[in-house]
Structure 1
């Protein structure tokens, strides 16, 4: 849930070098301004690389976009794994995710979920970007279902679907509307889901 934080993923910069600098650059630019609105020349200028270097490492903007989405997924996966490992129990892990998500929604500069934002820009479900997003969402839903199953939830798959829908609504509503109301609604849904054991 809070693993959607663009700042969590941006902190996981892949190290020095031009290739890493390009990816680190788009972690911010794509999130803040949208994927399609940021051109290759702007990425090259911001990353301080040559056009030849950009194309040597990524070949095209499409390849960079896919790497951007994959990097966000990997960072979210690593963060969630760490959060689960440090939680007292599965219910505590879910509550922590909800609290982190609420904090992220209230952060200055919050622009919604980077995955939902990318999905809005790539409407064709067969597009490679959408396929990575779908795989990411399936993974997150499965992790939530696993956590709920460990709590003894009667219907962990349904509960995970409820959490995902509440999360999506909170991330969208927190961006376009009232972040406090969106966070409070997400917390209420999570507590109702956790109570259904």
Structure 2
């Protein structure tokens, strides 16, 4: 029988490896070797690599919730929380070894829409966008959906350029987010 933490140990090892090298580049044997778990234990916890990848992607989606909670804790006003979210993404996107957003990276590795990894990555990104739109809906923006989508584009750009340009990209993204939030919420205030 597997220990209660076996699944989490395997998933933690897979997450570290997938984040660093990509899903296709990491075989199950490498996960087994680095985790020290044995093939039978891995297959008891995860019936297939696809099942392990899906669990990994769900963890990545949960990481978005952690980022959002951190942004909400860092600022009282929802306008500032959007900027803090970009700042928090900047910290992640510029870490040494970062390959950008793990959801987007995995989506690129699995372009077939019917593949479970593709579907879960899309579901998690849609969920993240929905949560971002909810936060933008708490601002004074005349069009909260547009504000959220613009912040999402900033985050996408940060994940793409952060691993290459580091702190410069993060700083530019935060400044850009401040400008966008100010423009979107000022326009709403002026129309009242």
Same fold (TM over 0.5): yes
**Across the two proteins, how many residue pairs are aligned to each other?**
182
**After the TM superposition, which of the residue ranges 64-73 and 179-188 deviates more from structure 2?**
179-188
The residue number in structure 2 matching 1:156 is: 144
* TM-score normalized by the length of structure 1: 0.84
The structure with the largest alpha-carbon Rg is: 2
The residue number in structure 2 matching 1:31 is: 19
Mapping of 1:10-21 within 5 angstroms?
A: 17-21=5-9
Q: 3-state DSSP class of the match of 2:138?
A: helix
Q: Hey, what's the Cα distance between the residues in 2 that align with 1:87 and 1:188?
A: 16
- RMSD over aligned CA atoms reads 1.9
* TM-score normalized by the length of structure 2: 0.86
Structure 2 unaligned residues grouped into runs of 5+ = 186-192
Does residue 97 of structure 2 align to residue 109 of structure 1? yes
Mapping of 1:137-148 within 5 angstroms?
A: 137-148=125-136
Does residue 179 of structure 2 align to residue 192 of structure 1? yes
Tell whether the 8 Å contact from 1:171 to 1:182 is kept in structure 2 after alignment: no
Does residue 120 of structure 2 align to residue 120 of structure 1? no
The residue number in structure 1 matching 2:170 is: 183
Tell whether the 8 Å contact from 1:35 to 1:65 is kept in structure 2 after alignment: yes
Q: Hey, what's the Cα distance between the residues in 2 that align with 1:181 and 1:82?
A: 22
Q: 3-state DSSP class of the match of 1:167?
A: helix
Does residue 30 of structure 2 align to residue 42 of structure 1? yes
1:130-172, CA deviations, whole angstroms, 9 ceiling, x for partnerless residues? 2211121112212222222211111111111111111111111
The residue number in structure 2 matching 1:12 is: none
Q: Hey, what's the Cα distance between the residues in 1 that align with 2:26 and 2:55?
A: 15
Q: Hey, what's the Cα distance between the residues in 1 that align with 2:162 and 2:73?
A: 28
Structure 1 unaligned residues grouped into runs of 5+ = 1-14
Tell whether the 8 Å contact from 2:93 to 2:162 is kept in structure 1 after alignment: yes
Q: Hey, what's the Cα distance between the residues in 2 that align with 1:101 and 1:79?
A: 7
